[in-house]
Chains A and B, each alone.
Chain A
Amino acid sequence: MAPLLMWLIMVLCLVISLGKYLFGLILRLAHPSVKIRKDYTFEPSVSVLMPCYNEGKTVYETMESISKSNYPADKFEIIAQDDCSADDSYAWMLKAQRDFSNIRIRVGRNKENCGKARTVCNALQHSTAEIIISIDSDCIFHPNAMRELTASFSEPKVGSVGGRVGVRNPNESVITAIQTLVYYAAFELYKIPENWTRSVCCISGCLFAIRRELLLEIEPAIRARHWFGVPVNQGEDRFLTHQTLLRGFGTYINTDALCWTTVPNKLSVLFKQQLRWRRSIVRDFFFTLRSLPRHVFRLHPNTVLTLVLTPLGAIIALLVVVNSLLSDPMAWAGPMPMITALAIAALLSWWIKKRSVHETIAHPLVFGAYIAWAIASSLFLTPLALCTMDSADWGTRVKTLEEVSVGNPNS
């Protein structure tokens, strides 16, 4: 009975996942209501909150890209908050403040390292704008990004809007090429059915816009997040999106609001990043289960299914992979997984080349390596995430003072 149930859930997860991609494609091509009504004359005041930790010179580049925004300069400000970086990030922030005098930049620093989520909350204390845009300090923003995000708030029931995150380094390695395809498919296909019902379950923290009152309402919950007393500093984007939905607001991803991030080019860094994300998913899953009736009655069925089946799928995938490796260890080495992966890669890379030249993959066939990653991640990420729920480690930006290469922000 148990294996049957497991297979049923797995099939359901697969059907829903694959169905979402297919449905996303159909909706993109055929359904106008997928796109939000945008009003470019709506120009609310905006605070761009930029928490920063150990980004070095990248933070300067990020602020430079924001300074080139075509949003009216008097309508927005940057509030950059350093989370006690071990490197020269704070100095670069100050330099950006000096150099980009065309816009209003405020720079602050936490008394002690307290993680991204609380750093955002700290930055929020200095904002009075109507719309808050929280960004990652390692991204480069398209000049239109801010305008696209604010225009999407013309629908009053929309509480949070995200942008599409592109990859700056698609051809740096096999790993970055794979991530480029995954990112593109996620934003351009997977999220589309969620967009249709204005119920995106996770807006990326790279570019996250939210109404100020809403964020202020959620802020105490962000600060209070903990795992049996251990403060939770990760997954604030997923948490914010989830809270937005629970408060009856819609969430949306405007794929015309673009930003570019440098994805990990090393397996170890990628693994840590994915582990952090998986922890957020698991944490979110527990939260969903804890208040399932509330979810069922308040949220769109599409949202509930996504919130439940995505993490459940990861857990079932773990069991299926373990079962598969024990019962038929060579199954993954057959031609079908490789052919499927390569077919998907060929299709996606063709589409990316057509739609987003900067992200064109030089060697789409490297996507074949995704099979190995899929097996490894299915096997290890979920158990590791389940066993390290008390970890506050960000994973990808840990530096000691000895490791920091001190640049020359004063030049």
Chain B
Amino acid sequence: MATPTLEPDVKPVKKAAGKQPLHYRFILATYRIFAIAALYAVLFGVIAYAFVMGFYAVNTTWAAPVILTATDEKSLDFREKLITSQQSIEDLKVDAAKMDAGLKEMRSHRDALLALEPEIASAIDRERQHNRVDAPELTALDRQKLADDAQTEQVLAQLDGMQANIQKDLASGLITKADAASQLAALNQTATSYTDSRIAQVLLTDTVLDKTTLGSTTLEALEKQAELRSEAAQLDVSIQVADQELTEDNRQISRLHDAIVTAKQSPYYLNATGQNLLNFAFVPYDNRASATPGSPIYDCYLNMIFCRDVGTVVTRFPGEEQALHPIFKTQIRGFLIQMDLRHAESAKSKTLFLGRKPLLF
């Protein structure tokens, strides 16, 4: 098979640039100037970006200013919680006062009840002693009465005969009607006296029974005593419960009070209640060594160079805060500080530096 070699190409390409129209040359020159500038800008941007990233990765003195306003969500939330806590304290105090008064009342009532108990006991004792003395005497009298009544009953059995004799005497004219009526009334009087005597005897027997056995009076007294003791025991329980509740209320009041005292040290409280505009800054834990009260604060151009002293650190707040890293935008933990800034504008900077200038100029 033929395998020829080609002659050198017959259509060499001429340099197009040699026949460039003027406007092409102008556009090309402009384009090249723009392109060089743009590429240098890109290069500068990349180097600057890498430097900023590296700088903030190793720097441990930066702090991010935080502008808190009274209408700030956290401040509003904080105020709301503070007011709620104070209201709770007031409610608890009222409750505690009521409970305390109730407790006092219950205690005095209990004391009064307990004071009654010895009186009841001594009354019962007294009654028992009287009974012990009276009961044998009354028993003897009761027996005597029974015997007397038996004799009287025998005498009364003879009265029916006597009444018949009076009738016979009246019928035979031995006695007048007036005499007969007088004699019959006397007989009736005797029977009535006997009936009274029986009644007295029954009552006496009943009294003896009262004196010799546990009577209803004593039982009532004992019931009263039991009721009194029960009521005292119930009062004891109520007093104990009320006492615990009162203690718990007082503890709650104390806790809320402590919380309010702590909260009053918070920047959000200071911000919400302060008359003047206060300046705060977030400091990550890694940078805490720089955040000591009295440390100077520097504000820098481009967040790192040509720094000036703009104030000092006033306070370091104890509570933990979480914030976004101003450069890396990652969530970081730290705390807030209060700053005394001579230049209010510095509060709007992205970052400030504590203690020293980050790049020594």
Contact = CB atoms under 8 A, between A and B. Distances in A.
A112 B12 contact: yes
Interface in B39-57: 39, 42, 46, 49, 53
B101 to A, nearest CB: 62
Contacts of A104: 1-3
A231 B38 CA distance: 23
Nearest to B18: A229
Nearest to B10: A125
B327 interface: yes
Contact of B8 (A110, A229, A327): A110
A328 interface: yes
A121 B3 contact: no
Contact of A114 (B1, B13, B17, B42): B13
12 contacts: A108-B6, A108-B9, A121-B11, A126-B6, A223-B11, A228-B20, A229-B20, A230-B28, A231-B13, A329-B53, A330-B329, A331-B329
Interface in A348-386: 379-380, 383-384, 386
**Cβ-closest 8 pairs across A and B:** A108-B6, A229-B20, A387-B35, A114-B13, A229-B24, A122-B9, A111-B12, A231-B16
Q: A interface, how many residues as a size bin?
A: 35 or more
Contacts of A227: 28
B21 to A, nearest CB: 7
B28 A94 contact: no
B32 to A, nearest CB: 7
Interface residues of B, number: 38
A383 B1 contact: no
Given A223-B13, A228-B28, A383-B42, A106 B8 contact: no
Interface stretch (A40-48, A95-103, A170-178, A180-188): A95-103
A81 interface: yes
B4 interface: yes
A105 interface: yes
Contacts of A103: 1
Interface of A: 73, 79, 81, 94, 97-98, 101-112, 114-115, 118, 121-122, 125-126, 223, 226-231, 325, 327-331, 379-380, 383-384, 386-390
A111 B9 contact: yes
A67 to B, nearest CB: 11
Contacts of A110: 8-9, 12
Contact of A384 (B10, B34, B39, B328): B39
Given A229-B17, A231-B16, A387-B38, A330 B328 contact: yes
Contacts of B5: 94, 97, 106-108
A101 B21 CA distance: 49
Contacts of A121: 11
B330 interface: yes
B24 A388 contact: no
A384 B27 CA distance: 18
Nearest to B36: A387
A112 B3 contact: no
Nearest to B32: A390
Nearest to A232: B16
Nearest to A105: B3
Given A380-B42, A384-B39, A118 B8 contact: no
Nearest to B20: A229
Most buried by A among B10, B11, B19, B36: B11
Given A115-B13, A330-B330, A380-B42, 12 more contacts: A94-B5, A97-B5, A106-B4, A108-B9, A121-B11, A122-B11, A231-B15, A328-B329, A330-B328, A383-B38, A387-B39, A388-B35
B161 to A, nearest CB: 135
B46 to A, nearest CB: 8
B7 interface: yes
